[in-house]
Chain A
Amino acid sequence: MDYEALAEAMGDLDEDTMTDMLNEVMSEDKSHAPEAMEACQKGMDIIGQRFEEGEYFVGDLIYAGELMTKAVDILKDGLVSGGSGENAAVPMVLCTVKDDLHDIGKNIVRSMLEANGFNVIDLGIDVAPETVVEAVKKNNVKIVALSGVLTLAIDSMKKTVEALKAAGLDDVKVIIGGAPVSEEACKEVGADEWAHSPQKTVDVCKAWAGI
């Protein structure tokens, strides 16, 4: 199996080639599933890069998310879930904040985070601050990513950060993303970072996680 070619197929958003290659991996010997997964993750890195360079845009990232979901679905029987040790995925919480129902951007970021070593606890849309706090405590999470598209999302993001602090979770890092975020909004919200680009979100979270 040419894993470089698999990564390229993923990077090229070539669903048919990717699917054929993954099915080949699983029909031969499931033990190579982790290598195939890693190749797909490299493919996601290629996609992220092409997005940054302007070749790909949001529609391509959405499609990439579907391909990644498909890849995981094909490989899942050959992948070892959870586990401890240096290869364990870093848990983090992701959601669209209260009163905002948009999920496209959140889902794109989720796919890219999952491809980059994160176990993303996706709380969905219209998520109340207390729900975020609960998930952070339950899963011992140190990174939270908040998404929103509406202008009111800034207020909801601020309330979420305040709720985390009120719960004594001062060591949790928060990044905010979406159309209304900015440097000013980040200060107002009390978040640690902000991003319009999903790649920036991934890079920041990886730096925080030390991976």
Chain B
Amino acid sequence: MADEKNEKIDYTKYPEGMKALAAALSMPIPPEESAKREAALMGLITSLVRQ
């Protein structure tokens, strides 16, 4: 993960932080399918908020 490149990004901001996180995560969705990756991350976020 490119933490150094992204260190100035505020990951808590939506949508820019969310997009950066979705791009940085290791997940079985190809990097070019950013919309799906972001949907997967938002699914996790919603689940975490509902816990």
Do chains A and B make direct contact within the complex (CB under 8 angstroms)?
A: no
